[in-house]
Amino acid sequence: MANAPWRSAEGRRRKPARPDLTKKGPSLVNTVTPSELALWSAMAGAILLLSIVAAADLVASRSVSAVRGLAFILLTGGSSILVSGLPEMLMPALRGGVVLPLAASFGPLSGALALTYLGVWLGAARDDRLIRWIVTGGSFGLVLAAVVLAVIALLEDVWRPAQVLAAAAAVNALSVLCAAMVAVRGVTLGDALARWMVVACLCLAGMVVGLYSKSLQSLGLGMAVLTVACTIGYFLIVIALTLQRNREQRKLSRLAQSLADPSWGVDMTLGSRLLPHVEDALWRSARVGRDCVVAAISIANLYQLGGVAGHGVDQQILVVLLARIRRIVGFRNVVGLYHPRCFVLVVSAVQDPQRSQLLAARLRRELRKPVSVGEAQNRHIFEPTIGVGLIRIAGSCSDALGVMNRAEQLALEAAQLSAGVIGEDFIEASYGAAKG
């Protein structure tokens, strides 16, 4: 056509128009400079390195958390590499075929996986209805969207590649929004590590925007650097937070089973330092319009083995019981030692009306289990005598100290009467009427 006799000289000299991404075609790879190619290759290399480390951890530990970590890196990292267009840059023969369906569907699939793992990481899905709805509904919707995108990506005569990737970008933006809502909800409920998960979601947003912008149009070197930084930052933050939470869970599990040496390095708020934490939990519950449960656990026979097992055995018992309590209520609720024979815990923003009864039953069941204490050569079995006092608070409450003291009184009564649990609804200035 270029040498056609009817083509004018002016037409032959005219520069070719820039490619139109809205036209049908098998590939959306844009022209890249060697610097950009090196940058995307470095991103892929970093993801590959993280995958190798995760695979080695799986071989060494053979744990469920290691399987989750490897699956997360492979699926999310693979999606990032596909959407960046790197495989097609390095091997042009891959253009078309299954690359577009994979690039379109891997993003929503990785979003569903990440959202599910986020719910597991927070450990609040069973207690918080909003998190449960977002995680369950969002994951199902993302999987369904991935299937739909894969199907329409195969219909080259109906859907253009740019349209498919634009739809995938919109779906992934929704997955980022869901993850951010869950992370912010975790912060609202009091999970300290959830603040860093919000930062990870910001990195995820930058990664999604940058990668899909790259797939639809050329990016400058500066934007490419920012996208790669957000991608690597997201993976590193999520991996670090996951390792930290897994380390905490393993430590609590070993302490709860008396398999580790007790240490006061365990997160324990003592005495009057509990008061501001309880006040904050009451305020958070009132702000979201939910009930709050304050529980006191009295250990009536804490010093029973003092003369037999030696000095310090009471501290070993308290550390083991603290680990059991923390495993029951999770990391987003307040747990501390009001005085040597009384724990106080606060479950904020309670949605289930039966939550307090279920909590009390589980506390009694787990805390009454025998505790092995003493030196390795001379172990003793301690059987705790437990009393639980529950205060259910609806609405706002400014008397945190009064709530704690009343819960302690109920716990002492429950231990003395062998009632197990005594609960009441707290009414400021009158303390309400007790319910056995």
Q: What is the pLDDT of residue 238?
A: 96
Please say which residue of 256, 287, 313 terminates a domain: 256
Q: What is the pLDDT of residue 427?
A: 61
Tell whether 239 and 340 lie within a shared domain: no
Spatial distance between the Cα atoms of 333 and 244, rounded to a whole number of angstroms: 17
Mean local confidence (pLDDT), 376-386: 82
Are residues 295 and 241 located together in one domain of the fold? no
Q: What is the CATH number of the domain that holds 40?
A: 1.20.1070
- pLDDT for residue 371: 86
Asked which of 172-181, 371-380, 411-420 is least confident by mean pLDDT, the reply is: 371-380
Same domain, 248 and 284: no
Residue type, 86: L
Q: What is the distance, to the nearest Å, from the Cα of residue 257 to the centroid of all Cα atoms in its chain?
A: 25
Residues 321 and 351 in one domain: yes
Tell me, yes or no, whether 190 and 66 share the same domain.
yes
Is pLDDT of 86 > 70? yes
**Taking all residues of the chain, what is their mean pLDDT, rounded to a whole number?**
82
Residue 96: predicted pLDDT: 61
Identify whether residues 246 and 315 lie together within a single domain: no
CA atoms within 13 A on the CB side of 324: 24
The token duo for 354 is 């039966």
Residue 2, pLDDT score: 42
Cα–Cα distance, 353 to 245 (Å, whole number):
29
**Residue 6 included in any domain:** no
- Residue 351: pLDDT band with limits 50, 70, 90: low
14: CB partners within 8 A, 6+ apart: none
Complete edge-to-edge strand list for the sheet that includes strand 386-393: 269-270, 334-339, 342-350, 291-299, 386-393, 421-425, 434-435
- Alpha helix stretches (DSSP H) within 189-312: 194-216, 221-256, 274-287, 306-309
C-beta separation of 119 from 125 below 8 A:
yes
Q: Which tokens is 309 given?
A: 């097992």
Report yes or no: 387 and 367 within 8 Å, Cβ to Cβ: no
| pLDDT at residue 16, rounded to an integer | 46
CA distance 82 to 86: 7
User: What pLDDT score does 135 carry?
Assistant: 94
Contact 131, 120 (CB under 8 A): no
DSSP state of 260: S
Q: For residue 288, what is the domain's CATH number?
A: 3.30.70.270
Among 159-168, 182-191, 321-330, 423-432, the range scoring the smallest mean pLDDT is 423-432
Overall average pLDDT of the 20-38 stretch: 60
Full domain range(s) for residue 39: 28-256
Q: Which tens digit of pLDDT belongs to each residue from 134-166?
A: 999 999 999 999 999 999 888 876 778 888 889
d(CA 113, CA 109): 6
Using the Cα atoms of residue 375, residue 323, residue 325 and residue 253 in order, give the sign of their dihedral: negative
Write down which residue in 256, 286, 316 finishes a domain.
256
Contact assessment for residue 235 and residue 199, using Cβ atoms and an 8 Å cutoff: no
Contact between 315 and 302 (Cβ < 8 Å): no
Does residue 20 lie in a domain region? no
Count the helix, strand and coil residues of the chain and give each as a percent rounded to the nearest 5. Answer: 60, 10, 25
Eight-class DSSP state of 31? P
Among 26, 176, 23, smallest CA distance to 107 is for 176
| Highest mean pLDDT pick, 4-13, 135-144, 308-317 | 135-144
Q: Kindly state whether residues 147 and 38 are assigned to the same domain.
A: yes
CB 175 within 8 A of CB 108: yes
Q: Quote the radius of gyration of the chain (alpha carbons, Å).
A: 29
Mean pLDDT of 16-23: 44
Q: What are phi and psi of 63, to 5 degrees?
A: -110, 165
Please give the tally of structural domains in the chain.
2
The 10s digit of each residue's pLDDT in 277-312 is 888 888 888 887 888 889 999 998 888 887 776 677
Are residues 396 and 365 in contact, defined by beta-carbon separation less than 8 angstroms? no
Same domain assignment for residues 156 and 194: yes
In a shared domain, residues 66 and 145: yes
- Greatest Cα-to-Cα distance within the chain, rounded to the nearest angstrom: 111
Residue 19, domain member (yes or no): no
For residue 19, the model assigns a pLDDT of 42
Residue 70 has pLDDT above 90, yes or no: yes
Q: Is residue 139 part of a domain?
A: yes
pLDDT at 331: 79
Q: What is the mean pLDDT of residues 121-143?
A: 86
Indicate whether 219 belongs to any domain. Answer: yes
Task: Using the 3D structure, point to which of 202, 231, 256 is the last residue of a domain.
Answer: 256
Non-local (6+) Cβ contacts of 413 within 8 A are 387, 389, 419, 422
Q: Say what the pLDDT of residue 260 is.
A: 55
**Average pLDDT for residues 173-197, to the nearest whole number?**
91
pLDDT at position 10 is: 44
State how beta strands 269-270 and 334-339 pair.
Answer: parallel
